[in-house]
Structure 1
């Protein structure tokens, strides 16, 4: 008999990628329930047509989540920092995200059938830098991590899931190279040195689900009495190589320009500060950027073949650069 996998944010990048991989499993280990705010969207209808039980749920409402999680053996949970960030700024967005993530954890803890809880989170930059760098879209998730750790019923069932730099992040204005006519090149500004190590996930639409489903298939190494961390990444690169790979794929000459965090933030108010802090932090932490927890499970331990994963270049090839530039 198939177990029930409930996926929060079923129509988003992470949730949809996991659902795609679960549906492709010939063993049909899981029936799938997808949670979404709008079950009438085209993406939700497409999921339903593929046999997914699409359920409307509100992560701001713990009661609705308790009901939506009923009977689940596994739950994939995610929160969206950036929607409240755009509307309310970083501090309020952290507050909203923490409330939502805590609602998810409380509802999961009350799910009697639950065996495995995957929580999509990020490393604790504040702890890694002794408070020097506080990245808001990391900080909210880290506070939710702490809440999960305080729940002795949920913690042994939890995998804390780190997903590294998206290959398609170059579609966002803060990362998209801009053409400077007099330089005859596309210029990318960054507060990080081009040698800054970057762990990347390639095309997130493909690779995230491969890792997330491998977590579910390997509970012996992805769960522990004190919780377990898993890192999803397909390649080690650098800030500068991300740009040179972009040039190779698009055929556009480019130049990488290091700037101060203050100047970077002033070019893109709001998002420049948010992402600039992250890049500055990675510039300082270097190889320690994805660390701070014991026994982080990697691709090799999950038995994922590197050949099955996409690369950053693959992510670039998926994108419509004529429209973006």
Structure 2
């Protein structure tokens, strides 16, 4: 009898990527949790044999019911929806509560063998409290809760997903056209040589890591951290690769955090502090306290990923710019 894999956010980027990878293998029965079971993406999953179930991560009991019989669970929360509606501090409260709801419901699932929690490094600890970046803090609060539950921790893998190439579609990162020079500039509070670990195409590549985690529990458990990246690049090279793919001229312009934040109120500070963190911590940005599991450890060293340039080429720049 096939084991059951339950994926929160089954129609989102991360969840859908994992489901697509699992469907190729057919080893698991798959249950996708979503808020709207009538969406086109939900119906498309159902047509592939995926069980689509409505669940609310604000309601622990709805998760307990949705997790029933699950052997593996993929947990994820979205900071940026409440951030856009309520600002950073309220968003931390909401995402922390949601993540703990998921963890508690997972812990109550008697059949559970493996819990993958999509999270981020602890920037506060890495910088002695200098960079308490809200979208990191919320997930780190959940990390702490999971670590306090030794039984759940033994079944948990912490998954750190690195730079999304499609971050370039968001205004704070999208290159800006300068009409007088017929070229683009990208503003950033970080230097152009800041090391960046990139996941490449998130929709194509995240699922490969998540599914490999499930297939190698001897490597990914107990309580191990996996850093998911397909290539190592820099802030400046990300821009030059974009320019090459789109056929544009582009220059990287470093500014300070205050100016960057003033241009994009709220979002500029949130993302600008992340860039400053990576600038100051550099190669240590994705260091796990007990050492990280790599793609080579997971048997993905020779995997053909969709890299940064290929991911740029798939995006519709006519609509974004």
TM-score, scaled relative to structure 1: 0.98
Instruction: Kindly report which structure 2 residues correspond to 1:134-213, keeping only aligned pairs within 5 A, or say none.
Output: 134-213=132-211
2:305 matches 1:313: no
Contact 2:225 2:288 in 1 (8 A): no
Query: Residue 213 of structure 2 corresponds to which residue in structure 1?
Result: 215
SS at structure 2 position matched to 1:214: helix
Report the CA distance between 1:307 and its aligned residue. Answer: 4.3
SS at structure 2 position matched to 1:309: coil
Query: Residue 8 of structure 2 corresponds to which residue in structure 1?
Result: 8
Q: 1:192 to 1:306 in 2, by over 3 A?
A: farther
Give deviations 1:4-38, integer Å, cap 9, x for gaps.
Answer: 0000000000000000000001xx22000000000
Contact 1:123 1:290 in 2 (8 A): yes
Contact 1:234 1:306 in 2 (8 A): no
Instruction: Kindly report which structure 2 residues correspond to 1:225-240, keeping only aligned pairs within 5 A, or say none.
Output: 227-240=223-236
Give deviations 1:160-189, integer Å, cap 9, x for gaps.
Answer: 000000011111111110101122210100
State the alpha-carbon separation in 1 of the partners of residues 288 and 37 from structure 2: 38
Report the CA distance between 1:292 and its aligned residue. Answer: 3.7
SS at structure 2 position matched to 1:159: strand
State the alpha-carbon separation in 1 of the partners of residues 301 and 3 from structure 2: 26
State the alpha-carbon separation in 1 of the partners of residues 41 and 148 from structure 2: 36
C-alpha root-mean-square deviation of aligned residues, in Å?
0.7
Contact 1:165 1:200 in 2 (8 A): yes
Contact 2:195 2:283 in 1 (8 A): yes
Contact 2:199 2:228 in 1 (8 A): yes
Unaligned residue ranges in structure 1 (runs of 5+): none
State the alpha-carbon separation in 1 of the partners of residues 52 and 41 from structure 2: 10
State the alpha-carbon separation in 2 of the partners of residues 135 and 295 from structure 1: 22
Query: Residue 45 of structure 1 corresponds to which residue in structure 2?
Result: 43
Report the CA distance between 1:306 and its aligned residue. Answer: 3.9
SS at structure 1 position matched to 2:5: strand
TM-score, scaled relative to structure 2: 0.99
Query: Residue 116 of structure 1 corresponds to which residue in structure 2?
Result: 114
Q: Which residue, 262, 286, 289 being the options, matches 1:290?
A: 286
Query: Residue 17 of structure 1 corresponds to which residue in structure 2?
Result: 17
Give deviations 1:250-298, integer Å, cap 9, x for gaps.
Answer: 0000010000001001111111111000000000001000014212100
Count of aligned pairs: 321
Moved runs in structure 1, 4+ residues, more than 6 A? none
Contact 1:168 1:312 in 2 (8 A): no
